[in-house]
Structure 1
């Protein structure tokens, strides 16, 4: 599968992309909870990503 890179310019756009990624993974049977190291070579910083499920509230979409 190939993906086109979308220019993200705000936290809201990043949140939208993360939600879409997590939903696709979840819908395809991937256990999305846990932690991942994202190593990005010398040109970009590395990140540690942790995903945890949270309880829905009444205002949740």
Structure 2
């Protein structure tokens, strides 16, 4: 996996980095579906992150 640039300064970069993380986890058979508690630590807030699979209609 390439090093991910964590200099997240806008929504577009956040979405890109998050997508890279999810893709890498999926490719390595990590089940990311479900709820994740993220400890903010160092003065940051705590987060509750929920990941779900989105089923989209095919373009057939």
Pairwise same-fold verdict (TM > 0.5):
yes
Q: How many residues align?
A: 57
Tell me the TM-score normalized by structure 1. 0.78
Q: Which runs of 5+ in 1 are unaligned?
A: none
Alpha-carbon distance change, 37 to 18 in structure 1, aligned in 2, over 3 angstroms: same
SS in 2 for 1:50: strand
After TM superposition, where is structure 1 displaced by more than 4 Å over at least 4 residues in a row?
Answer: none
Tell me the TM-score normalized by structure 2. 0.80
RMSD: 2.0
- Cα offset for 1:32? 1.2
Alpha-carbon distance change, 6 to 42 in structure 1, aligned in 2, over 3 angstroms: closer
Q: Which runs of 5+ in 2 are unaligned?
A: none
